Chain A
Amino acid sequence: MSSAILESGAAVAHGVERHRLEGHGVEELSMQQALNRALDEVLATQPKALIFGEDCGRLGGVFRITDGLQLKYGEARVFDTPLAESGILGMSVGLAMAGFHPIPEVQFDGFAYPAINQIVCQIGRMNYRSRGTLPMPITLRVPSFGGIRAPEHHGESLEALFAHVPGLKVVSPSTPHEAYHLLTYAASLPDPVIFMEPKSRYWQKGPVDFARGPETIGSPTGAKVMRQGRHLTVVAWGAMVARCLQVADLAAEDGVDIEVLDLRWLKPIDAQALATSVQKTRRAVVVHEAPLTSGLGAEVAQLITHGCFDTLKAPVERVTGFDVPYPSGDLEDEYIPNIDRILNGIKRVLEYRRG
């Protein structure tokens, strides 16, 4: 029975392949639609790909990222699981061992915590433990970060935690275009990737150029300059990229020309892109939502320091969340770096004078 479902999925795949070819060009899509298109393409082109998690099937996910996929590919390839994150991730390990390509979803970032044992002790280590004989091509989608006034545990910034775990790769898209290309790329990798989707950007539209190649995506493993500038580099990822681009527009009104670098990959970090940008601008600010202490900003600052020590005109500054549990919606705007705090960080760097 199940094999028949898989076969019918393969039959559908040809239709999707044609659809994709017809769909070439640029389309205006929300990030939610772009992610859905990416998953559709992955299911169509990879017969061993499976999508599962809580409410991924009939409902299409609470954010509708998997909308319509079960109908199209059948219940064998897109299915609902019981409400148990460790179960979802532990099952992914076994499915990967059996030759499948699991694309599980954790419904909200905070619910990755109950699965940390499977993510850290199992998914991150199985390739190593098995000396490369049991690869873990698992693409874990995690709706991430805050900004939607969600209840507790529904808005967390786990990138430093994930990036610190040996054996995991971590990536976060900032636009619908990045979302489509980074997800299809991540799902082609033979290693486990944590795909952190900025949930506050799900409904923002933007152009998605479906053409492949460096002209549209740059290096699929690298960072990307989203705005060229001369005076200072702002490094951000996920939802913070859009805000930093706004900041750059405002700063331009005061004659400050800011370069915005979307880090995209939080592990491995594109150290070369950081060095290239900051060697040009000689100043840098890192912006992230996660708490300051031991955050990824510290890693980025060190990489910049190492790559640009002689060039830097000021210490690398960080504008981040605070060392507090992620606050309730009413205080969220105080917690997440806002335009003023980012501008202040930029100002501190621009006005720095050696003592």
Chain B
Amino acid sequence: MDTLPPLATGETAAPSPGQLRELYSLMVAVRHLDSSAVAWQRQGIIPGYAPELGQEAAQVGSGYAVDLTRDFVFPTYREMGVARAMGVDMVAYMATHKATWHGGLYDPMESRLAPIQAVVAGSVLHAVGWAHGQTLTGTADGKLGVALSYFGDGASSQGDVHEAMNFAALMKAPVVFFVQNNGWAISVPTERQVAGGSVAARAQGYGIPAIQVDGNDVVAVLEATRHALAHCRSGNGPALVEAMTYRRGPHSTSDDPGRYRSLAEERDGGGEDPLERFRQRLLADGIADEAFFAAALAAAKAEEEQIRAGIQALGPRPGNEMFDLVFQETTPALQAQGASWREESEHV
């Protein structure tokens, strides 16, 4: 499925060898941090985590396409790879999984990443509103900031996704709906979740051009996302990218996939490992060698250790923040509750 009009020649360039190596390094960093985060949960370092094993290509490829000077990304809760590709402070990102602060500790305005949140279709409408704001202030000369809205096959069942697509199409809002179709909404497979064949097919009903892409091919994802971004930047309205991938692990560290799928199904559904596949391709094309891969893994390990140390060093937030950050202008009732907490708390 590809209903996105082709780009003018030269509008997006193929990734350079340097960029391909950078993509690989990012994927290794994400893979290593992801599997480590699951281990941290088992070790009691963090209370919970939503793994993304197998989705590294979909996340790194799309996150790498973001222009940090003008775009804005709206995640849900399984976008660690996107955040890493965007250069978000990963200790601050992981703070949400450490239960330090809902939404994470990173600065959304600086990092161009909205806070993590768990109502999976909730942020899709935010992306449309933000994108409409770009239309109101910017000019459609190929320079519009674009909102990237991440959601999954499960979220696509929620009404907000449909309201968002309808609004975006009517308002010609520069928003890329980036769907990671990972085959599973916790225990429910896509075929019992998505009517109409695919999310991309639904987009057509709203007149939104869509691309369905092999979500396990990082270069294909990068190029599809760049294509969609370029389409939106020029004032053509929204686009949708549906990256077909597979959630190889559990939904979260509390989930037991053995209750709803067999190991054989998991193996078949996952297909070839996107990381290994990219490695083979880089080797075959002579873009990287074993020494590079070894160095990339070593860097990923060093980075993970730093992040672990960082989140282990995170203490609980000072309790007064609970009261101080509700409003821009606090209320007498909140002030009184804060004062009462300070008097009664042992943590002051």
Kindly state the interface size class of chain A when it binds its partner.
Answer: 35 or more
- The smallest C-beta distance from B326 to any residue of chain A, in angstroms, reads 5
Is A95's beta carbon under 8 Å from chain B? yes
Complex interface: stretch among B58-66, B162-170, B301-309: B162-170
Is A267's beta carbon under 8 Å from chain B? yes
Report yes or no: A90 in contact with B122, Cβ–Cβ below 8 A. Answer: yes
Complex interface: stretch among A126-134, A237-245, A282-290, A342-350: A126-134
Chain A residues positioned under 8 Å from B343 (CB to CB): none
Chain A residues positioned under 8 Å from B130 (CB to CB): 94-95, 97-98
- The smallest C-beta distance from A349 to any residue of chain B, in angstroms, reads 26
Task: Point out the residue from A84, A98, A130, A166 that lies within 8 Å of B133, measured CB to CB.
Answer: A98
Chain A residues positioned under 8 Å from B167 (CB to CB): 81-82, 84, 87, 91
Most interface-central of A2, A130, A166 (chain B CB within 10 A): A130
- The smallest C-beta distance from A132 to any residue of chain B, in angstroms, reads 5
Report yes or no: A90 in contact with B108, Cβ–Cβ below 8 A. Answer: no
Report yes or no: B133 in contact with A167, Cβ–Cβ below 8 A. Answer: no
Report yes or no: B332 in contact with A95, Cβ–Cβ below 8 A. Answer: no
Number of residue pairs A-B, CB distance < 8 angstroms: 151
Complex interface: stretch among A63-71, A117-125, A150-158, A174-182: A117-125
Chain B residues positioned under 8 Å from A118 (CB to CB): 122, 125, 160
Q: Which residues 251-300 of A sit at the B interface, judged by CB distance below 8 A?
A: 267-269, 271-272
Chain A residues positioned under 8 Å from B160 (CB to CB): 86-87, 90, 117-118
Closest to B160 in A: A86
Report yes or no: A90 in contact with B328, Cβ–Cβ below 8 A. Answer: no
> How far apart sit A90 and B109, CA to CA, in the bound complex (Å)?
19
Most interface-central of B101, B327, B329, B333 (chain A CB within 10 A): B327
Is B209's beta carbon under 8 Å from chain A? no
Is B176's beta carbon under 8 Å from chain A? no
Is B220's beta carbon under 8 Å from chain A? no
Report yes or no: A134 in contact with B108, Cβ–Cβ below 8 A. Answer: yes
> How far apart sit A89 and B119, CA to CA, in the bound complex (Å)?
15
Is A57's beta carbon under 8 Å from chain B? no
At the interface, is chain B mostly helix, strand, loop or mixed?
Answer: helix
Q: Scan B152-173; emit 1 where CB is below 8 A from any A CB, else 0.
A: 0000000110011011001000
Chain A residues positioned under 8 Å from B327 (CB to CB): 127, 167, 169, 191
Is A99's beta carbon under 8 Å from chain B? yes
- The smallest C-beta distance from A162 to any residue of chain B, in angstroms, reads 14
> How far apart sit A121 and B109, CA to CA, in the bound complex (Å)?
20
Is A325's beta carbon under 8 Å from chain B? no
> How far apart sit A87 and B128, CA to CA, in the bound complex (Å)?
9
Q: Which residues 89-145 of A sit at the B interface, judged by CB distance below 8 A?
A: 89-100, 102, 117-118, 121-122, 125-135, 137
Report yes or no: B328 in contact with A190, Cβ–Cβ below 8 A. Answer: yes
Chain B positions near chain A (C-beta within 8 angstroms): 72, 74, 101-103, 105, 107-109, 114-115, 117, 119, 122-139, 147, 159-160, 163-164, 166-167, 170, 321, 325-329, 331-334
For the complex with contacts A117-B119, A130-B108, 17 further pairs of A-B residues with Cβ separation under 8 Å are A81-B167, A86-B159, A90-B124, A90-B129, A90-B163, A91-B132, A92-B129, A93-B126, A94-B125, A102-B129, A126-B115, A128-B102, A131-B321, A132-B325, A133-B108, A166-B326, A271-B333
